[in-house]
Structure 1
Amino acid sequence: MATTYLHNVVTLDGFIAKEDDDVGAMHDWYFSGDHSLQDDESHADAHGGVPFRVFAASAEYVRGMWDRQAVGVIGRHLFDITNGWEGHAPASDHVVVVSHRPKPDGWHSEAPFHFVGSVQDGVALAQELAGEGEIGIASGNMGGQALELGLVDYVAMDLVPVIFGRGKPFFGSFSDGPLLLEDPDVVIAGEGVLHLRYPVRGRAQAARG
């Protein structure tokens, strides 16, 4: 089974975006450095118009995560607000979109995006597609459901020194708590960001074999 991790950039008070989906300065660290995260930067327009370039302290960790990620699992809302990055996701060979609606008519038919109706089906398909790679699950409501269902091995956060006060929670509407995670096995202080990764008890040990 491929390793799964719930991941996103998150504010100090636990939000991944404002209520109107604006992320403010949360993602500035992704574009402020001099170390590229992608060998091919030709699709920068689909990712905000600027290539992903981070500072040295973040480069090895983030590049490694992106290189290992074979499949991304996202919700329909993220697909809609990004237009699926015009078929070119920042990381992963395949993207599974959890949605009750099909792929939009005429939308990038060649893109390796797969639409399924439930979180369980989404992660199951991701496991089929991942091969020897890993699976990144976007946090928020869909990711929180995956965590409740016991489908997440690690919780990975890029913690930024921003406070929103209100917004969209990292774990969405997760209600199956309290859930005790293990101590972080990744703690990397970057510039404008702190990278953290927490193993999910029971799940992570099994993923490590």
Structure 2
Amino acid sequence: MGTVILHSVVSVDGFIADDEGDVGPLHEWYFSGDVPILPGSGSGSGGAEGDEPFDHSGSGGGIRVSRASADYVRSTWDSIGAIVMGRNLFDQVNGWEGKPPAGDHVVVVSHRPKPDGWHPEASYHFVDDVTEAIATARALAGDGTVAVNAGDVGGQILAAGLVDEVAMDVVPVVFGSGRRYFGGIDGQHLLEDPHVVIQGERVLHLRFRVRR
């Protein structure tokens, strides 16, 4: 089965959004380069040109990253088979209107069911347990990566020992407060030395394997 990767763009002080869920300048690097990126180019129907990946605002826009970031971003998106997200993010972006920015499947961790009549054609699956969420996402993704959105649900999945790697796109901004990358996770969780370190423009791409 594919790797489970906890991922998000994050401020240098560890926040993925402000207290209201606004990402502010965190996604500016998606639009500050010269190389166009097409989300989901290797994953069938996942994403469309102009969709912003893991977008918390739902605003979209033409994505152009720096040359240094381009290959990493493309390979990351193209590897994704399924996304796991929490209900707060689903509600905030309305599930990307049934068109995930990468991959073909989405698993939403929620105690509430899918809204009645919401995009019945979309492969969105609602479960109320993080262990079930990862099992469902792995089955749907096959050999593809399971991308877990950071935040409270992502922190719970890491704490449950279900994450293989932590990926952070670190942006040079300090938020001071807001929604934390690891949510309200308790205790220490050791990671290996970073095996990916790529300096782009206005972003530093890092990836760590979780120590078992």
Global fold match (TM > 0.5): yes
Residue equivalent to 2:83: 72
Confirm whether residue 189 of structure 1 aligns to residue 199 of structure 2: yes
C-alpha contact (below 8 Å) 1:185/1:197 kept by paired residues: yes
Choose the corresponding residue for 1:41, options 49, 60, 65. Answer: 49
TM-score (norm 1): 0.92
The CA distance in 1 between the partners of 2:50 and 2:20, in whole Å, is: 29
Root-mean-square deviation (Å): 1.6
Q: Write the letter of the residue equivalent to 1:189.
A: Q
TM-score (norm 2): 0.90
| DSSP 3-state at the match of 2:26 | coil
Residue 43 of structure 1: how far off its partner (Å): 5.2
The CA distance in 2 between the partners of 1:37 and 1:71, in whole Å, is: 19
Residues 2-26 of structure 1 deviation map (CA, whole Å, 9 limit, x = unaligned): 2101000000100000001111111
| DSSP 3-state at the match of 2:157 | helix
Choose the corresponding residue for 1:146, options 136, 146, 157. Answer: 157
| DSSP 3-state at the match of 1:77 | helix
C-alpha contact (below 8 Å) 2:8/2:16 kept by paired residues: yes
Confirm whether residue 30 of structure 1 aligns to residue 40 of structure 2: no
Confirm whether residue 174 of structure 1 aligns to residue 208 of structure 2: no
User: Tell me, which stretches of 5 or more residues in structure 2 are unaligned?
Assistant: 42-47
Residue 88 of structure 1: how far off its partner (Å): 1.0
Q: Write the letter of the residue equivalent to 1:21.
A: G
Residue 193 of structure 1: how far off its partner (Å): 0.2
The CA distance in 1 between the partners of 2:33 and 2:117, in whole Å, is: 36
Tell me how many residue pairs correspond in the alignment: 201
The CA distance in 1 between the partners of 2:113 and 2:158, in whole Å, is: 24
Q: Write the letter of the residue equivalent to 2:85.
A: I
Residue 47 of structure 1: how far off its partner (Å): 4.2
User: Tell me, which stretches of 5 or more residues in structure 1 are unaligned?
Assistant: 203-209
The percent identity for this pair of structures is 57
Q: Write out the 4+ residue segments of structure 1 that deviate beyond 4 Å after TM superposition.
A: 42-47
Q: Write the letter of the residue equivalent to 1:70.
A: G
Confirm whether residue 163 of structure 1 aligns to residue 162 of structure 2: no
